Structure formats: structure tokens, C-alpha cells
Amino acid sequence: MELQNRVAIVTGASGGIGSATARELAEAGTRLVLAYHHGGERAEALAAEIRARGGECTVAQADVSTKEGAGILAKTAVEAYGGIDILVNNAGVTRDGLFLRMKEEDWDQVIDTNLKSVFLCSQAASKYLMRSAYGRIINIGSVVGLTGNAGQANYVAAKAGLVGLTKTLARELAARKVTVNVIAPGYITTRMTESIAPELSEKMAEQIPLGRLGQPGDVAALIRFLAGDRASYITGQVLQVDGGLVM
């Protein structure tokens, strides 16, 4: 229970990495705000599971790509638990397509959800994080933000921008003992990747030195570490969870 009574917001909590993260942080003793935009039934089921195991959590619906939505999450955490110690910016979407054919609305939606939301949620939470003398911001990026990927100009741009935003926030907030890091997962088995044909998944696994696709728990375990005391001297870093795919 290394995070006993710490307060954490997890965006995109109804997704694979989000729900695995919520379970890890609950096991470590945090009091959780599970944020979702779509997938309310999954979020409520996750909350019921955590409570059944003795954890504390509340569920909040919000569009984190808007200032209003980000404010709702900060307000929910403060009203329910008195502050904010940890923010996990995990919300994300994909709208893939070749660059020359990509619609402007697909570009905007991915940038707003995957990058703008991190700016807004971090801004809304920062005054409470700075007061805690402990604050942690953990952003979920992607290895494609480091390498590029055909057919994902919008997603790659958002994840690459997240690296720069993370490093800037790490510099600005360091004086208040707030650490800011970004995790760059590789191929992780989630609902977002379920539509990939089995033969393509096999080809992906062949490219990975460890020989398998990642699981949400592989990412969640690192989030739990970064949220804890033992990671207090780590900030402004990009940490890859990719089985050795990008070296």
C-alpha cells in the first residue's frame, strides 16, 4: 500500500490500459477518480470491482478535450478526497488514414483528445498537485511518437507533441516537487488493437525482440512505479514499454 490515501485521476479509465492502471493504483492504496467520456458501463463496472476489493473510487464523465471537462475532473477529485496527488493522462483515440486523404475533423479529434486534453487536465490539476508537495503527472504516449508511422499522421503528431509537452512541464513544475514523465507503449493488446487480423498480430510479434505483444498490465506496472516514492528523482523522461521494439 505504498500509495495509501494518495488521490489519483485516471483519464480514459474505461479502456484497457486505463482499467489496468486503476486496478494497480487501487491495490497500492490510492483513492481514485475514474474518468471516461464514452463507456460508462465499463467504468461503473470497474468502480464496483475496486470497491468490492476495499478500494475507494468515484466515477466522472467528462470530455477532457475541453476546458470544462478537465475542470470537472479536478473539481470531482477535490470535492471527493480533498486534493490531487497523481494525474494519469491516458485518454486517447485513433482515426487512421493516409495523410493525403485524412479529413480535417479526424486530425482535430485526435489532436484534441490525445494532446490538448493533456494540456487542459494538467493545467486544471497543477495547482492541487503543487500543493501536495508530492505531485505526479504521468502521460501515456506511444513509440510511434518517436518513430513515425504511415497512416497515422494525426496520432503520431499528437504523441510526438506529448513528448515535448512532458519535458516542458517537467521543467516548469520541478521547483514544486511535481514530476512529469511520459510512457511510450509499443504494441499493446487492448480494444483499440482487437480489430487487427491475427496474422498481422503474429507479424507484429515477430518484430519484437521479446516475441510477444504487450499487455495493459505491463504499462500499468510502470505507472504504479512512477506514481510512487521510489520514482521521486525521475522527471522529464520518455520510458518505453515495447518489448525492445524501438531501441
Which parts are annotated binding residues for NADP(+)? 90, 155-159, 188
Interatomic CA distance for residues 219 and 211, integer angstroms: 17
Could you give the C-alpha distances from 113 to 107, 134, 158, in angstroms and in order?
Answer: 10, 27, 9
Burial class (CB in 10 A: 0-12, 13-18, 19+), 199: exposed
Name the catalytic one among 36, 81, 155, 187: 155
CB-based burial label for 118 (10 Å; 0-12, 13-18, 19+):
buried
**Residue numbering of the annotated binding site:** 90, 155-159, 188
233 annotated active-site: no
* DSSP conformational letter for 230: G
User: How many Cα atoms occupy the beta-carbon half-sphere of 156 within 13 Å?
Assistant: 13
Closest CA to 191 of 93, 118, 103: 93
Q: Which three-class secondary structure state does DSSP give residue 82?
A: coil
CA distance linking residue 102 with residue 100, whole number of Å: 6
Instruction: Indicate which residues carry an active-site annotation.
Output: 155
